[in-house]
């Protein structure tokens, strides 16, 4: 089955379900108007899997999600990070407005445990967003996470290496992240339901104070 056909079928299935299942998906604005303009639903939409493929660490791959994560924790839903590559630094999370009592770190080790934990948390209605760093993930597993996110009305952000951009994936939204020499974050749309792939957006308005200071001093 070709990727586009599979997608059509998936969309059809979704349409059928929409008829029966009550609440429309929740949408968290990303904090960037240009990004919201291309994202389906106008922001990060519950019940979807978003793949993020940063070219290196430290370019703003986490900052991109901070406005949405802060809002989710402020509205009493929980956020989990599964197998993050470094320590999510509490003082910085606080400055970004995250309510730490609604934030969880799950230090799963094996690929199976990471995906299992992601599925469990996505499926749980208490979680609004789940960020996962799987060492490897296959199409079948992305679909499983997709179903879990739909069941729990949560958003799944899956971080993958930049090389994954060349592979296909059933995830609804796939974004490649890079930064220019002055640290401006650019989002390349690899795949986005309802938007043209291949677009590239400079995402502004998401700078942390640190970046502002950086630009100010340069």
- Out of 89, 135, 167, 199, name the contact with another protein by CB under 8 A: 89
Side-chain-facing half-sphere of 117: CA atoms under 13 Å: 23
Q: How far is the CB of 140 from another protein (least distance, A)?
A: 20
Region from 11-19, 29-37, 108-116, 133-141 binding another protein, contact rule CB under 8 A = 108-116
Q: How many residues bind another protein (CB under 8 A)?
A: 61
- Ranges within 165-194 binding another protein (CB under 8 A): 178-185
How far is the C-alpha of 154 from the C-alpha of 58, rounded, in Å? 26
The total number of residues shown for the chain amounts to 218
Rank residues 2 and 163 by Cβ distance to another protein and give the closer one. 163
Binding of another protein by 23 (CB under 8 A): no
Structure tokens at 10: 């998936």
Binding of another protein by 218 (CB under 8 A): yes
Rank residues 101 and 140 by Cβ distance to another protein and give the closer one. 101
How far is the C-alpha of 69 from the C-alpha of 64, rounded, in Å? 10
User: Of the candidates 130, 109, 129, which has an alpha carbon nearest to the alpha carbon of residue 118?
Assistant: 130
Tokens 């949408």 belong to 27
DSSP class of 25: P
Q: How far is the CB of 10 from another protein (least distance, A)?
A: 26
Strand 27-28 versus strand 185-192 pairing type: unpaired
Rank residues 53 and 172 by Cβ distance to another protein and give the closer one. 53
Q: How far is the CB of 130 from another protein (least distance, A)?
A: 11
How far is the C-alpha of 151 from the C-alpha of 26, rounded, in Å? 13
Q: How far is the CB of 122 from another protein (least distance, A)?
A: 10
Tokens 């220019």 belong to 180
- Out of 39, 108, 115, 171, name the contact with another protein by CB under 8 A: 108
How far is the C-alpha of 183 from the C-alpha of 143, rounded, in Å? 34
Site string for another protein, 31-50 (x = CB under 8 A): --------------------
DSSP class of 161: -
- Out of 6, 29, 120, 201, name the contact with another protein by CB under 8 A: 120
Q: Any long-range contacts for 109-117 (C-beta under 8 Å, 24+ apart)?
A: 109/83, 111/135, 111/136, 111/137, 114/82, 114/83, 115/141, 115/144, 115/145, 117/80, 117/82
Binding of another protein by 58 (CB under 8 A): yes
Q: Where along the sequence are the contacts to another protein (CB under 8 A)? A: 54-63, 66, 76, 78, 84-96, 100-101, 103-109, 113, 116-117, 120-121, 123-127, 178-185, 208-211, 213-214, 217-218
């Amino acid at each position: 089955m070709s990727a586009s056909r599979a997608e059509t079928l998936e969309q059809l299935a979704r349409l059928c379900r929409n008829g029966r299942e009550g609440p429309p998906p929740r949408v968290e604005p990303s904090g960037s108007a240009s990004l919201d303009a291309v994202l389906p639903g106008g922001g990060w939409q519950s019940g979807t899997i978003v793949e993020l493929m940063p070219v290196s660490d430290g370019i703003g791959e986490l900052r991109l999600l901070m406005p949405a994560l802060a809002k989710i924790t402020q509205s009493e839903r929980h956020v989990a990070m599964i197998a993050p590559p470094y320590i999510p630094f509490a003082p910085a999370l606080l400055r970004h407005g995250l309510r730490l009592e609604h934030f969880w770190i799950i230090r799963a080790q094996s690929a199976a445990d990471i995906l299992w934990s992601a599925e469990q948390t996505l499926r749980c209605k208490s979680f609004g967003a789940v960020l996962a760093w799987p060492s490897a993930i296959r199409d079948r597993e992305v679909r499983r996470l997709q179903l879990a996110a739909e069941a729990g009305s949560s958003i799944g952000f899956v971080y993958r290496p930049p090389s994954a951009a060349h592979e296909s994936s059933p995830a609804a939204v796939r974004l490649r992240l890079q930064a220019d020499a002055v640290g401006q974050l650019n989002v390349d749309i690899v795949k986005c339901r309802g938007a043209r792939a291949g677009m590239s957006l400079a995402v502004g308005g998401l700078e942390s104070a640190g970046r502002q200071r950086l630009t100010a001093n340069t």
